[in-house]
Amino acid sequence: MPSNLSQKGAIMSDSAKRATSDRSSRREFLTTSAAALSGAAVGSLAIGRSAHAAGSDMLKVALIGCGGRGNGAAANCLNVPEGTKLTVVADAFEDHARDTLERLKPKYGDRVDVPDDRVFVGLDAYKQAIASDVDVVLLTTPPGFRPMQYKAAVEAGKHVFMEKPVCVDAGGYRTVMAANKLADETNRKVVVGLQLRHDPKQIETMKRLHDGAIGKVTQLRAYRNGSGVWVRSREALAERLGRKPTEMEYQVNNWYYFVWLSGDQIAEQHVHHLDMVLWANGDQHPVEANGMGGRQVRNDKWAQSLGHSLGSVGQIYDHQFVEYTFPDGLRLFSQNRHIRQCWNNSAQFAEGAGGYSNLTGKIFGEHAWEYDGPSVVMTDQEHVDLANAIREDTPHNEGWYGANSSFTAVLGYMATYSGRIIKWDEAAEKGPSLLPENLAWDADPPVLPDDNGSYEHAVAMPGTYKPY
């Protein structure tokens, strides 16, 4: 048994010991993978080799969404030591699809095999990519499109890697839950880009918490406080396109600032920390949420003071505080903020009668412990785990906890936007789908600017905003 498992605080039951021994072999594999990934010792790994994809050994992969994360995810997938090949790319904008190929081809050579007739462009490009002869699709577009694309991928019989959040509204949550069911029924494998779940440090920490290392959990806390993200102006997009963008093009490009596309910062980024505390608490979801938030600094005035055009920070909030309640009365206190020169913190904690944990390798209290095992490249490991599940044909569907954590975030913004107590069951059943039915470059998005280009009128006002 690795030394870190036998030190002070070992409180394992028999089943835990069995799981630990399973984990030890998994850990061996992970270590081998991590070493091979960094040392390029391709070809010697214990990746499962049983039949998949009608007997072929090669996993053919389509990338849908060739932005920052899409480029990363494609590389992560090609870092799987053997047998993955990128054969299709799709993006709303042609330059992004082409740039991705230019970036990946020099590094991965023949494993990037995407002729022109397998480059798809436009808001519907995902349909052609999914209909192609591929085994796996990587869904890395703005998250508002995720439920629709995930559903289409599972219906077409593909295995899926999809980025977080997996939904940004209640309609999306319902779609994802139905697609999860279909994925289970049709034995499709699903990995979600909540990469901390693929790191042995977190896996080991959670195992210890679930085995009672801090006793009964009495409080959860989650923080994503930072200074903000990119702003993509109309002017810069016009330069890229060589013409004035349509409103739909502008919003899809500057997607972070529109709720129908991002679900606000709480879904877009804070979902990682919400996911961690839900995991610590056995993946139950909260039954209700209340909260407060607003847009105190990052508004049109702020954007203009930095030289951005009016409307470039759309309609989202810059801070939210949410109190979630679980069925047994347990509370989760959650903060997320995008304001400069404030206290920044990306962290989460579970507290219990016998101590507390940061959920990433440290437990304090009676069973104090610190992880000292191997580390992996989490975003590579996601794809090793997906390839293994496909090749060894083991059940694997992360869409369930992905949906749980993503809708927890959605519940949070419904609470802060409305100023009301929002109940999970009611919101999940009655909450809207924000995705427009007519998704075309010349169609109207669900939110339109005023005559000056501002979206301040579309910022949610507590007391008057109706979540459903």
Ligand X SMILES: NC(=O)c1ccc[n+]([C@@H]2O[C@H](COP(=O)([O-])OP(=O)(O)OC[C@H]3O[C@@H](n4cnc5c(N)ncnc54)[C@H](O)[C@@H]3O)[C@@H](O)[C@H]2O)c1
Residues in contact with ligand X by CB under 6 A are 64-70, 90-93, 96, 123, 125-126, 140-143, 145, 163-164, 193, 195, 252, 268
CA angle 314, 317, 321 (to 5 degrees): 165
Residue 364 CB neighbour total at 10 angstroms: 17
Nearer Cβ to ligand X, position 240 or 420? 240
Q: Which residue is nearest to ligand X (CB)?
A: 67
Cβ closer to ligand X: 23 or 164? 164
What is the nearest approach in angstroms of ligand X to the Cβ of residue 166?
A: 9
SS3 86: strand
Q: For 288, list phi and psi in degrees, rounded to 5.
A: -155, 165
Buried b (16+ CB within 10 A) or exposed e, 370-381: ebebbebbbbbb
Nearer to ligand X, 143 or 402 (CB): 143
Half-sphere exposure of 256 (CA within 13 A, CB side): 15
Q: Which is nearer to ligand X, 68 or 109 (CB)?
A: 68
Quote the CA–CA distance of 119 and 266 in Å, as a whole number: 33
Is the Cβ of residue 161 or residue 349 nearer to ligand X in the bound state?
Answer: 161
The CB-of-49 to ligand X minimum distance in angstroms stands at: 28
Closest CB to ligand X among residues 258, 356: 258
CB of 146 to ligand X, least distance (A): 7
The DSSP result for 169-223, as a single string, is SHHHHHHHHHHHHHHHHTT--EEES-GGGG-HHHHHHHHHHHTTTT-SEEEEEEE
Vertex 196: Cα angle to 194 and 197 (nearest 5):
80
- Between residues 217 and 274, which has the closer beta carbon with respect to ligand X? 274
User: CB of residue 278 vs ligand X: minimum separation in angstroms?
Assistant: 16
d(C-alpha 175, C-alpha 173), whole Å:
5
Nearer CB in complex with ligand X: 59/148: 148
Instruction: Give least dist CB 240 to ligand X, A.
Output: 10
Strand 331-338's sheet: what is its strand order? Answer: 369-370, 362-365, 355-357, 345-352, 217-226, 331-338, 319-325, 288-294, 422-423
Task: Give every strand in the sheet of 59-64, ordered side by side.
Answer: 119-121, 84-91, 59-64, 136-139, 159-162, 190-192
Residue 412 CB, shortest distance to ligand X, in Å, is 16
Judged by beta carbon, residue 145 or residue 417, the one nearer ligand X is: 145
**Closest distance to ligand X from the beta carbon of 140 (Å):** 5
DSSP character for 134?
-
Minimal distance, residue 89 CB to ligand X, in Å:
10
Give me the helices (H) in 352-460, please.
378-392, 399-418, 424-430
| Residue in the block written with tokens 């090609």 | 78
**Calculated CA dihedral for residues 279, 281, 287, 289, nearest 10 degrees:** -80
Nearer to ligand X, 101 or 368 (CB): 101
129 or 289: whose CB is closer to ligand X? 129
How many whole angstroms separate alpha carbon 102 and alpha carbon 112?
10
Q: How far is the CB of 129 from ligand X (least distance, A)?
A: 8
Query: Measuring CA to CA, which residue among 299, 441, 379 is closest to residue 68?
Result: 379
Q: Which two tokens stand for residue 11?
A: 């409180």
For the CB of residue 324, give the shortest distance to ligand X in the complex, in Å: 21
Cβ 336 to ligand X, closest distance in Å?
A: 14
Please classify residue 330 by burial: count the beta carbons closer than 10 Å to its beta carbon, then call 0-12 exposed, 13-18 middle and 19+ buried.
middle
